Every structure is written in C-alpha cells, then in structure tokens.
Structure 1
Amino acid sequence: MNRKQKDLSVDSAKANGISEHKFQSGNSESKPKSPDNSGVVYQVFISLLLDLLAFTMILPLFPSILDHYRLNDSPDGLYPWLLKQIKLFQQLTGTPDRFSSVLFGGFLGSMFSFLQFLASPLIGGISDAYGRKPVMICCLVGIASSYVLWALSKHFAFFVVARIIGGISKGNVSLSLAIVADVSTPKTRGRGMALVGVAFSVGFIVGPVIGAAFAHWSHGQTGNWYVVPASFALGLAVMDVFYVTMFLKETLPKANRKKSVITSLNQAVAYINVIDLFQFRAVKEIQKKDQNSLRWLGYVYFIYLFLYSGMEFTLTFLTHHKFNYTSMQQGWMFFVIGLTMALMQGFYVRKLPEHKMASTTIWGLFLIIPAFISVGLASSPILLYFGLFLFAVSTAMVVPCITTLVSKYGSNNEKGTVMGIFRSLGALARAVGPVIASVAYWSIGSTPTYLTGGLLLTIPWLMLKMKFS
C-alpha cells in the first residue's frame, strides 16, 4: 500500500474526532499484528450490518408513520399542537393537511443529522480516552433504547424522543471505522475499509425492503402497525449489543489512549465550529493556493449536498402523495436505487484513474440536474424511473470522486484533518437540507420544489467546471 492509500485510510476516523496515533507511529506500523486481530474486521462488519439493517428499515415508512400520527395522535398531543402553530400560514398558502407530514418529517430528518453532526466527533473523542468497546456498547444501547421508544410511541412526542436518542447514539459508525483502522496493517487496511463499505451497501439495499415488507404484512393486523417493524429493528439492535459485548475485543490499548478526555474533546470541537469548518482553519501545513482550492471544493460539496439531501429526503413523500406508493413499493424503489449505485461504484467508479476524478465529478454533478427536474415533472412512472436512474448514477459518482479530489490536499500528517472537516461539512449540509426542502415542499408543492432544486444544482456544477476548466 502506498503512502496516499495509507493517508486515506485514516480519514474516516479523523472525520469524527478520533485520534490517528496508529498512523503517526512508524513503530506501530512495522510490528506484526496479532492473528486474532484479523477477525475484528469481520466482527465490525457483522455489527454494522445488524445496525444498518435496523436503521434503514424506517426509510420507506416515514410517510405512513407521520400520516398515522396525523390521524391518531391525542387531541392534546405534540402533532396537533404543532399543526395548530402552522395553521395560519397553511391557510394563506392553501397547503393540504396531508402535506404537514412532509414538514414534520423534514424537521425530524434534519434534527437526526444535526445530532449526529454534534455527537459523532464528541463520541470519537471520548473513545480516545476510554477505549472503543465501552463507548461502542453505550452507543448501541442508546440505539436499542430508541427502538424501544419507537415501538411504544403511541403518541408523536414519544416518536420524536426516540429519534433524538437515536441521533445522539449514532456515533457507532465512526467508532467502527476507528476499530478497523486500529487493527489493520498497511496491507489489510484497504480491504477492511472496503468491507465496511459492503456493510453499508447491503444495509441500504436490504433494510428498506425488510421494513416495507413488515409494514405491508402488519398494516391490517393492528392500529399501531409500526410496532412490528420497530420490534424487529429492536431485535436486531439487541443482537448487536450482545454480539459486541461478547465477541468484540478492545482495539485501543490503555497505553495509546489520550491522557485527558478534555484534551480529546477539545480536538473534536474543531469539527463543530461552522465558521472554522468552511475556512479549513484547522489545516495549518498548507500553501495559500491549496487552502483556497480546499475552500472552493468545500463550498461546492456543501451546496451540492445541502440541495441533494433535501430532495433525497422528500422523495418518499413525493412518491407517496403523487404516485400513491405503498411502503412496499418504496422499499423496492430504495432497493433498485441502492443496487444501481453499488454496481456503478463496484464496476466503474472504483476503477477510475486519478486523472479522471475531476471530469467524473463534473459529469455526476451535471446528471443530478435532469434527475431532479425529471422527478419533479413526472406524471407517469416512466419519467419518474428515468429521473431515479439518473439520481442513482449521479450519487454513485459525485461523493467518492470529489472526496478523492479533496484528499490530495494537505501534508501527510494533516490529510485526516482535511477529510474530517470535509465530512463535517457534509454532515452539516444533511442537517440543514431536509428541513429547508420540506418547508418548500409543504408551502409550494413538490413540482416547484424539485424544479427549483434542480436549477440551483447548476451552481455547484458550474463552480467545479470553472475550477477544473
């Protein structure tokens, strides 16, 4: 493995405030790893797969869940109270009551991402001081608790609390990446990170189908139909807790841990300060020209993901309202999108030479424009499918390629910092995008929202085209 590959392998850990001591010590790299450590990567894979299958189950269920609370929340509950607060503006715009679920869904989606944006670096910092395994178990217990609340959430307020707990606890993903980095050698690190990628692909392909299947099976069985998929997600989460507790070994020895948790958390805060993020101020060893290029790419990525995540989040509501998609149909929609992305990344993007990353990113940014315009204008399944196909192809191209472009900047011992800032910008975009798009969807409708978003996506495309023209 060359030096660049080694630098890239620490990006995910640094992105969440986790130390990179394993990569800074030449002696630790030269020492042979214990044979038992090779199994840790597969343990992380199984843990992540259980978590992601449970996590993605809710994706196709959001419209139906919020419609359920709109009809069944108690008269003095949170949903009617929120609905009352927006009633005046709703009357002025003539927005149907059923679109209120889009607005509430957007707030929930943004809240979940914002909590991840805040919590992941802090959780990573705590693990630097106390070890990976105990912090991982705490995260998984928190995730399981969120599913308990979801299963018991007869009222909308309980469901909101469940999402808050789930968002705070989602630092297990960054910890999984750190564990893989801890136990890998230069020869095995790439394969370990690739296995993590496989867990994500499988989770996002299979999870929504499982959730939709359970919702379809249980919808006519009971008034609180969501209890069945929530209970299944809880079962997966409990299995994950027991599996990690019983089998996962601690990968950060006490001798390598940070002496003070305060010092570790101070480092993590650098990934939360918004002004510093956009300026890439934490990157010290870099020429002015390269820092300006980094900032330009950061702006491109944030604008793209801000618009993209907003449109992505409202997709299930659009298919639910405009095409009357059931949860099962939405599950299969996510399956096809995920499969297309996996095939594109596995057979095309993964094999791209370095000099084609810029042009591929530009093409990917261009394709997302007609994708959202087609989905926004779609009045028949054919145009919808065409837009979703472009959406999947573009998604598979943009993020991995622009990440590779960014990874070129910074000195060898600051590449992790560069990527940490870059990932934090993405998390912030995903925290803001859904709520803005949902407000637009709620107030002016799906077609104007998607057309406006598609046109605004020409901005990051033009910015990147100017940069590399």
Structure 2
Amino acid sequence: MPILLFTIMLSGMGFGLVLPAFLFFAGNLGASPLIATTIVGAYSFGQFFANPIWGRMSDRYGRKPILIMSTAGMVLAYLLMAFSENLWVLGGARMLTGIMGANVPVAMAYITDITPLEKRAQGMGLVGGAISIGFIIGPAFGGLLSGADAASATLMWPALGAAALSGFTLIATFFLKESLPAEKRSEADTVDAVPTGLTAIRMVLRRPTVTRLIIIGLLIYFAMGFFETIMPLWSEARFDWGPQHIGWCFTYLGFVVAITQGYLVGKLAPRFGESKLVLYGIACYFFGLLWMTQVPDWQLMMFGITFTAGGGAIAVTSMTSLVSRQAGEHERGLVLGVYNSSVWMGRFLGPPASGFLFQSIAVQAPLYGAAFIMFVCFWAALALRSHLKRTAEETRTV
C-alpha cells in the first residue's frame, strides 16, 4: 500500500500544479468565463468517458497494468498542455489528462482488494488523503510557476512540472505488487453477466440502491464543480487575487481535505456510519458556501473554505465507501468505475453552468446555485439513509 499511496500523491501534485493559472491562461488566449470553465470541465468529461473502461479493464487484466498504461498517457497529455498555443489544443490536452487520469477507481479497487470490509472507509480515506497531500504541494508550486498576476499567467512551466511528476509516478508504479490474483481476473473475464460499455452502465443502474447513490453523487459533484471551478475568477472579482493567491488557497484547501480524508473519516465512520457522514458533509458544504457569499474580506472567506473542503471530503469519501459495499469482488472495479464516471459527469456539467451564471447573472450566482443543489442533496441523502436502514433490517429478519 505505501507504494500505491506514493504514486497517488505524485499524481495529485501534477493535477494541482496546473490549477492556479488555468482559467487565467485560457482567458489570455481569448476565452470568455463560459468558454474557460467549459475547457476546465473537459477534464471531467474525459473522466466520465474513461472511468468505467479503466475500471473494467482492471477487473480483467489486473490493477497494475492499467495504472502503468494510464500514467504513461498522463505524461504525454501534460506535455501537450505545456505547449498549447490556442484554445483547441488547450481543450484537447485538458480532456486527454482527464481520460488518462481516470485511474482513481483502479487505485480504489486496489485498496479494496487488500483491505477487509470493516476498514474499507479508512482505506478510501487514505487514497483521498494521498491525493490531497499532493494537492497541498502542487498548487503552491503551481502558483509560483504561473506568473505574478492574471495578465501574465502561463501554463508552460506548471504543465512541464506535471509531466515530470507523472514520469516519476510511472516509474514508481512498476514497483507495485499486483493486488488481483490471476484466478480472480479470469473469473471476472468469464462472468458473462458483467458486460462492458453502455451495457455495463445499464446493468449497474438496474440496482436501485446503486442508482440512488449515483444520482446523489452526481449532484454533489455538480455542486462542487460550481464553486471549485469558478473560484479563481470569483476571488479575482472579489479580492483582486492572481495565480499565486489561488495556489496558496488551493494548498490550504488540500490540507483540510488531507486531514479529513486521511484521519477524520477513518475515525468517524465506525462511530457514525457512512450514510450519516454523507449528511454531515453536505451540511458543512452548504454552510460554507452561504458564509462565503456574505463575507467582506478574504480572511473570513477562508473560514468558509474550511467548511466546504472538509464537508466535501467527508461526503465524497463516505459515498465511495457506500458504493463499494454494493459490489461483488469480481465486479468492484466496474461498479466503482461506473459510479466515478457518473459523478465526473456532474463535474463536467458544473463548470460551464457556473461560468454561465458568473458571466450572465452575478459574481455570487454560482455560489448560491451550488448551495441550492446541496440543499437538494441533503434531503436525497436523508431518504437514502432511511432506505439503507430498512434494507439492512429486512436482511437481518430473513
């Protein structure tokens, strides 16, 4: 597990390097807020497309080969981004990083392969924590490499740094031990009831509990995509921030997420259960959004960031653990892949919607929109919790 967590951390660093300057650089190439946020969302569209593919392939061929293949693609994607000179190339590079970076379900399946059921949430938290540690370091350096202000923002040096980190990740991945034995891979390969592609997605969606989890997860990520994407432009409009300020803010956000996923979730899940933690996480995110719409300065804004970062980390980690409990051993990569693909569609739809609200209505509109969606998610998650309790009681009485 330590080697896997190290490779995940490096991947998170590469992802974080390009974030502080991305919207500003797209704007410098002539993109409006709507176009710039749509390009940012192309990463999530790539995740939506590739998540179930990588997940199912890892069930058939093992986790390690898929991790190696996808990481090698990340190197090429970041090199293309580093030398983007127009919006089409930038958008293509952004989508390619999403496709090749859609290997988190494979890493999660690796964790579930080697951890017992009662420690599943803690294992998921360690994966999220490793990503967050990389996310702590990446944006800080990305902000320093991106330029002093929005007008001078560049992606060349951050993207080259991300390509180098992906290269180190590729090397480290070769030292991983395979977690899925050959006999279990062959079982997954011969189960005719587990198809691929759209048929696989339809099969997973036939399960009512999984479908509810997917819908709630999609809405949560949709709301998170509102604020987290528009945050650079929002903070520039509110507090005159540039890439360096954004980098340090994302670093603090990553620090909060790392502590939450790497420590708090593992401690809280056995006491409260994942379904209750989802409710707590959504409530914290909702409060943080409304707080940030009312504060007059960035110091008070950071208090709200603490709630959105911590609440989001609790909610998404607990949701992933709940989904993993609905999958058999031979299909875990598939189910997690379909779930992650669906929630990444939420992240794809969120950025352009946020950009539209920011550009056409008001600076604060994306935050109010995200808060409304989180309000809906809370009640949907509450209904899901009641459903899970009833299902568990019926199972015990049979």
Fold conserved between structures, TM > 0.5: yes
Distance 2:335 2:96 in 1: 29
Taking the TM superposition and a 5 Å limit, the aligned residue runs for 1:234-245 are 234-245=163-174
Q: CA deviation at 1:145?
A: 0.7
Aligned position for 1:300:
216
Query: Which of 45, 60, 69 is residue 5 of structure 2 equivalent to?
Result: 45
Structure 2: tracts of 5 or more residues without a match: 387-398
Q: CA deviation at 1:238?
A: 2.2
Distance 2:320 2:110 in 1: 21
Structure 1: tracts of 5 or more residues without a match: 1-40, 71-78, 80-99, 284-290
Q: CA deviation at 1:48?
A: 2.1
Aligned position for 2:395:
none
Q: Which has more helix, going by share of residues?
A: 2
Aligned position for 2:25:
65
Letter in 2 for 1:157: W
Instruction: Indicate whether 1:123 and 2:54 are aligned.
Output: yes
Aligned position for 1:462:
379
Aligned position for 1:10:
none
Aligned position for 1:374:
291
- CA shift in 2, pair 1:177/1:417, >3 Å: closer
Instruction: Indicate whether 1:153 and 2:69 are aligned.
Output: no
Question: Could you say what secondary structure the match of 1:329 adopts?
Answer: helix
Query: Which of 267, 271, 276 is residue 195 of structure 2 equivalent to?
Result: 267
Instruction: Indicate whether 1:429 and 2:371 are aligned.
Output: no
Q: CA deviation at 1:263?
A: 7.6
Q: Contact 1:310–1:434 (CA<8 Å) still a contact in 2?
A: yes
Q: CA deviation at 1:108?
A: 1.8
Distance 2:94 2:176 in 1: 27
Distance 1:253 1:411 in 2: 15
The Cα RMSD (Å) is 3.7
Aligned position for 1:114:
45
Q: CA deviation at 1:260?
A: 9.9
Question: Could you say what secondary structure the match of 1:267 adopts?
Answer: coil
Q: CA deviation at 1:319?
A: 1.0
Q: Contact 1:128–1:264 (CA<8 Å) still a contact in 2?
A: no
Q: Contact 1:218–1:225 (CA<8 Å) still a contact in 2?
A: no
Q: CA deviation at 1:413?
A: 8.0
Query: Which of 238, 247, 257 is residue 322 of structure 1 equivalent to?
Result: 238
- CA shift in 2, pair 1:206/1:64, >3 Å: same
Aligned position for 1:204:
135
- The more displaced of 187-196 and 375-384 is 187-196
Query: Which of 356, 364, 374 is residue 447 of structure 1 equivalent to?
Result: 364
Aligned position for 1:332:
248
- CA shift in 2, pair 1:128/1:438, >3 Å: same
Letter in 1 for 2:165: L
Q: Contact 1:367–1:390 (CA<8 Å) still a contact in 2?
A: yes
Aligned position for 1:232:
161
Structure (1 or 2) with the larger CA radius of gyration: 1
Aligned position for 2:390:
none
- 1:288-347 superposed Cα distances (whole Å, 9 cap, x missing partner): xxx3x5544543333232222222211122112321212121111112222223334455
Distance 2:215 2:103 in 1: 28
Question: Could you say what secondary structure the match of 2:138 adopts?
Answer: helix
- CA shift in 2, pair 1:199/1:382, >3 Å: closer
